[in-house]
Amino acid sequence: MRRQNGFTLIELMIVMVIITILAGVGLAVYGNSVKHAREAVLLEDLHQMREAIDKFYADKNHYPASLDALVEEKYIRDVPVDPFTKSKDTWQTTLAEPEPGNPAAETGIFNVKSGAEGTALDGTPYSEW
């Protein structure tokens, strides 16, 4: 009898299963790395905007009325895009408390948070960052 060269069906199936498992693991790792990168961008954007708000207050002795005021006064170049909502308009701002000695004074933005829904890889909601 003469034997034919080539692979058996079982050998091909085993190789296909191994390739599928490796592809699944690769996709899971890729998905987590993309989410981790977006979280890093969100943290840096929040840090930069909060620092700009603090500098605005230190220079002008009042908080900015909006995030656009930070751009107009050149404390930041542009309001960043939230990496999860893909929009500049979803930032959640917290207004400062009115001054006790001057209740008629204009209150401004004291803090900024993400408007993104969902939780981070560490289990905290993005809206609490």
| pLDDT tens-digit series, residues 17-58 | 999 999 999 998 998 999 999 999 999 999 999 999 999 999
64: pLDDT strictly greater than 90: yes
Q: Tell me, yes or no, whether 126 lies in a domain.
A: no
> How many folded domains does the chain comprise?
1
What is the span of the domain harbouring residue 48?
9-116
Q: How many whole angstroms from its chain centre is CA 35?
A: 8
Q: Tell me, yes or no, whether 101 lies in a domain.
A: yes
Q: Tell me, yes or no, whether 112 lies in a domain.
A: yes
Is the alpha carbon torsion for 76, 78, 79, 80 positive or negative? negative
Q: Tell me, yes or no, whether 125 lies in a domain.
A: no
Q: Tell me, yes or no, whether 84 lies in a domain.
A: yes
Q: Tell me, yes or no, whether 1 lies in a domain.
A: no
CA distance 80 to 41: 10
| pLDDT tens-digit series, residues 65-76 | 999 999 999 999
CA distance 23 to 115: 33
Q: Tell me, yes or no, whether 94 lies in a domain.
A: yes
| pLDDT tens-digit series, residues 70-100 | 999 999 999 999 999 999 999 999 998 877 7
Q: Tell me, yes or no, whether 128 lies in a domain.
A: no
Burial environment of residue 96 by CB neighbours within 10 A (0 to 12, 13 to 18, 19 or more): middle
